[in-house]
Structure formats: C-alpha cells, structure tokens
C-alpha cells in the first residue's frame, strides 16, 4: 500500500476529500502551467491547416523530435532518421530492462508515470513537464470540442482504490474533489450488491460528464438496464479511457445515462492520439506522432498491430514502440463530414493479447467474443479464460433472467465462434474480479503467460 493509500484508509472522509481536492489542484497546476496555454492555442490553430501546411508542420515536428532523441538517448544513438522502418521496434520489455539507457532526463526533473503491465511487471516512464503539458493541452482541447471543461460536474471511474468495503457498507463509493467538482468513484467495488450505493450517488450528484473505464460504467449501466432504470438527469458525454470500447458499451451506456460516448486512444506510457470528432469518426492526430499498422511480418497493413512513435515522449522516447494494440485504418480515399483532413481510423480493435486460440478457428478476437452475448438476456458480465488449447472456462455474472434456455443460446453462440472441438465450461459466479489496475478483462488468454 502506498503512503497515499494508507493516509486515505485511516483518515476521516472530510479530511480525505480536502486532501484529494488540494492534490488535484496541485496536479492541475503542474499539468496546465508553463507553456500549456501556448500549446493549446497551437492545437486549435492546426485544425484549419491546409494539406501542405500540415505536411510541413509534421516534418518540422518529426525532425526536431528525432534529432533530440538521437542526441540525448543512449538507446537511440544509432537511430536511422532517414528511414524509420529500418529501426527495430521497441518492446515493453526494453522499457522495463533498459529504462536508464532509454530515458533522457532524471526522474526527479520530470513526471514519473507507472503502467501496470499485463504479465504483472510494472513499467515506468518519465515525462518532461513540457510534454505532460502538451498532452493535457491536446486532451483538454479535444474534450472542450465536446463541451467539457474543468469545473463542470464530472464523475470519474478510474483505477484508484481509495474506498474500503467498510465505506461501501456505509453507502460511500466515491471521494469528492469539491474544488474542481470531480467525484472519484471506486471501480473495484461495483457489483450487484453495491449497485444501489453507486446508483443513488449518481442520481444525487447529477454529473454532466463521465470519464473513465468503459467496462466499469458499462457494468453499472447493465445492472440498471436489467432493473429498467435510467438516470433522471441525462449525462452529456461519456469519455472512456484506457480500455477498448465495444459496440455493446455504446448501446447500453447511451440508453441508461442518456449520453453520447466519445472515444479516444492514448496511453499512460505516452502513445500519440486518436480522437473522435464531433461527427463520430476517429481521426489520427498527425502532429502527435506516427501510427504504423503492421502484419505479423512487420509489413504495412490496413488492419493489424500498432507501432507508435510519439512526439510527446522526450523524457522516455517511444519510437516504433510495440504498444500491444490493434487497429483498422479506414480506406485512404474516405473523407469525414467534419471536414478534417486528419487520417481516419475505421476502428480500434483492442489489445493484441485479447484473443482466444481455437484449434479449428484460429485466433478469435475480443470484438467477436464480446458479441456472443447479443440477444441473450441476463448476462451482466462475463469472462472467457483459456488455460489449455482445447478448453475454456466462461465465468458469468447474471440476473435471474439468465435461465437454462438463455444459457444454451449463449453456449451455442460460443461454439459458433470457437468451434465444437473445445470444451466450454459455463460457470455462474457472484462476481468476477477486476485486474490490479482496476480494469476488467473479458478475455484472459493464459496460454501466452
């Protein structure tokens, strides 16, 4: 437990809320100080650039970033600037093992960010303050286009475990930053028993915006939906973070909270940005970095794994970084009705490791698996675990609508996806734990680890 968590567990709620308000205000000052204002104006301006202006600006940003990295990072001193594809991809393991060689500044001179790795190894990167300010300028500009700014009532669902079981029993599921009007909800305690604590809190708080893990907000909404509930005061926008958004998320969250879901792609280790426009399409922001989509042989592809190069990672440079996510690019001839010339992405397909390996059907991806509950009633959440090549455990948290007939339909949908050569064991459970990061995973492929 960190000092901060210890403090939180032992201190009265009012003092905790004051501390959280002050901490957030301090963090806000760091993130929004320095050149933040100038950078934010820059990001507003570049949106109306012509193709040739944009091209020139991209080249300028690339050149200055690559020159800096080559000079300052021992890891990249042989970087091939002329032909990026000649450089071998940077792996997560490299950042964990060779952090000191990759980074260009001392930790105490920058801002350290920790990422929970999938295999349990935690990864650390350090940002320069200026890059952090740039990242927040980009995000704030994006959110402002959808009506948000700091000080609007916001419910936050992220992975900080600041609530105890005891708090839940006392009807407390969140902490309130009363200076910035942000209510931080625990994502670790959402289940059917605690649902009413969360629901009553949301009804009373009347947030205008929600930010956080889609799986957490979805779970709350799925339970509400099964009870026929809708939020009396609709939320304006839900900004999901950190996880892949599934079609089902949009549908159920929209229905229960009355809001629009506006997606984005970024990551705590500093990936460049993909942002949803006001016309509902995803655009790559070409001034934040390079997105290479490659196949299994690292050859360019329309749909496949991402290698990212990010211009806001001067502290811990990411060049051709294998981030572990898959996307599908839109046809390059396609244009968006929002008139932006930023490249279009068809969809974000989720993590590369989110698949089940079937002996007959090959890799079955997350999108396909999450679709298996379509038209099946009573499933609140489920998780597919693969320990062996020919056997799956499927954990299901359900309401009483999930009867024998629904269970058989669900099994049939799973067999359709994985083939009939696999043993599928459907087990009804009370709850399925989230990961240490507070995120929920539908697919757990344990063959790899």
| Interaction site with Zn ion (CB under 5 A) | 277, 279, 281, 336, 338, 340
Residue closer to Zn ion by CB (options 280, 300) is 280
Minimal distance in Å, beta carbon 335 to Zn ion? 9
Q: For Zn ion, give the closer residue by CB, 35 or 334.
A: 334
Task: Tokens for 87, please give them.
Answer: 């450089």
In the complex, the smallest distance separating the C-beta of residue 370 from Zn ion, rounded to whole angstroms, is: 25
> Please, what is the minimum distance in Å from the beta carbon of residue 279 to Zn ion?
5
* Cα–Cα distance, 209 to 232 (Å, whole number): 14
CB of 282 to Zn ion, least distance (A): 8
Q: Which is nearer to Zn ion, 132 or 284 (CB)?
A: 284
CA separation for the pair 334, 325 (Å, rounded): 23
CB nearer Zn ion, residue 310 or residue 340: 340
Q: How far is the CB of 283 from Zn ion (least distance, A)?
A: 6
Q: Which residues pair with 154 in a beta bridge?
A: 182, 209
Task: Residue 192: count other Cβ atoms within 10 Å of its Cβ.
Answer: 16
Q: Is 448 left (phi over 0), alpha (psi -120 to 50) or beta?
A: alpha
What is the smallest separation between the CB atom of 263 and Zn ion, expressed in angstroms? Answer: 12
**Closest CB to Zn ion among residues 38, 279:** 279
| Distance in angstroms (rounded) separating the CA atoms of residues 210 and 142 | 15
Number of DSSP helices (H) and strands (E) in the chain, helices first: 13, 21
Rounded CA separation 89/22 (Å) = 41
Max Cα distance, the chain (Å): 65
What is the 3-state composition of the chain as percent helix, strand, coil, each rounded to the nearest 5?
Answer: 35, 25, 40
Q: How far is the CB of 390 from Zn ion (least distance, A)?
A: 44
Q: Is 138 helix (H, G, I), strand (E, B) or coil?
A: helix
**In whole angstroms, how large is the CA radius of gyration of the chain?**
22
Q: Judged by CB, which is closer to Zn ion: 123, or 338?
A: 338
The residues, any chain, with a CB within 8 Å of residue 275's CB and separated by 6 or more, are 142, 264, 265, 282, 283, 285
Compute the distance between CA of residue 245 and CA of residue 403 in angstroms, rounded to an integer.
28
- Residue 34 to residues 105, 136, 287, Cα–Cα distance (Å): 18, 12, 20
Nearer to Zn ion, 220 or 274 (CB): 274
Query: How near is the Cβ of 274 to Zn ion at its closest, in Å?
Result: 12
* Of residues 171 and 339, the one with the C-beta less far from Zn ion: 339
């Amino acid at each position: 437990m960190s000092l901060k968590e210890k403090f939180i567990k032992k201190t009265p709620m009012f003092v905790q809320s004051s501390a959280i308000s002050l901490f957030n205000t301090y963090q806000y000052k760091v993130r929004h100080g320095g050149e933040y204002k100038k950078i934010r104006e820059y990001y507003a301006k570049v949106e109306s650039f012509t193709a040739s202006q944009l091209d020139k600006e991209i080249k300028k940003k690339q050149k200055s970033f690559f020159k800096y990295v080559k000079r300052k990072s021992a890891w990249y001193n042989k970087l091939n600037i002329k032909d990026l594809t000649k450089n071998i991809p940077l792996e997560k393991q490299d950042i964990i093992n060779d952090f000191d060689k990759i980074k260009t500044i001392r930790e105490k001179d920058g801002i350290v960010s920790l990422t929970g790795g999938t295999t349990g190894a935690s990864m650390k990167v350090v940002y320069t303050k200026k890059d952090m300010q740039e990242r927040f300028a980009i995000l704030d500009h994006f959110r402002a286009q959808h009506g948000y700014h700091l000080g609007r009532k916001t419910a936050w669902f992220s992975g900080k475990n600041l609530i105890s079981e005891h708090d839940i029993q006392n009807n407390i599921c969140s902490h309130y930053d009363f200076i910035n009007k942000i209510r931080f909800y625990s994502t670790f305690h959402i289940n059917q028993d605690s649902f009413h604590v969360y629901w009553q809190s949301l009804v009373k708080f009347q947030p205008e915006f929600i930010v956080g893990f889609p799986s957490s907000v979805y779970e709350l909404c799925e339970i509400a939906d099964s009870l026929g509930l809708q939020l009396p005061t609709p939320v304006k926008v839900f900004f999901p973070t950190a996880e892949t958004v599934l079609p089902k998320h949009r549908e159920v969250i929209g229905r229960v909270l009355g809001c629009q879901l506006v997606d984005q792609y970024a990551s705590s280790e500093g990936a460049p940005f993909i942002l949803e426009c006001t016309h509902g399409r995803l655009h790559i922001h070409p001034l934040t970095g390079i997105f290479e989509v490659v196949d299994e042989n690292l050859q360019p592809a329309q749909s496949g794994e991402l290698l990212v190069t990010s211009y806001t990672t001067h502290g811990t440079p990411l060049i051709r970084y294998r981030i572990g996510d898959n996307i599908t690019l839109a046809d390059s001839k396609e244009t968006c009705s929002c008139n932006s010339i930023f490249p279009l992405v068809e969809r974000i397909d989720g993590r590369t490791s989110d698949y089940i390996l079937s002996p007959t059907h090959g890799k079955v991806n997350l999108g396909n698996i999450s679709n298996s509950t379509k038209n099946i009633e009573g499933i609140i959440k489920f998780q597919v675990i693969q320990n062996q090549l020919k056997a799956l455990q499927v954990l299901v948290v359900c309401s009483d609508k999930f009867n024998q007939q629904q269970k058989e339909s669900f099994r049939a949908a799973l067999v359709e996806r994985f083939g009939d050569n696999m043993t599928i064991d459907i087990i009804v459970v009370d709850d399925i734990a989230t990961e240490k990061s507070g995120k929920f995973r539908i697919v757990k492929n344990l063959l790899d680890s």
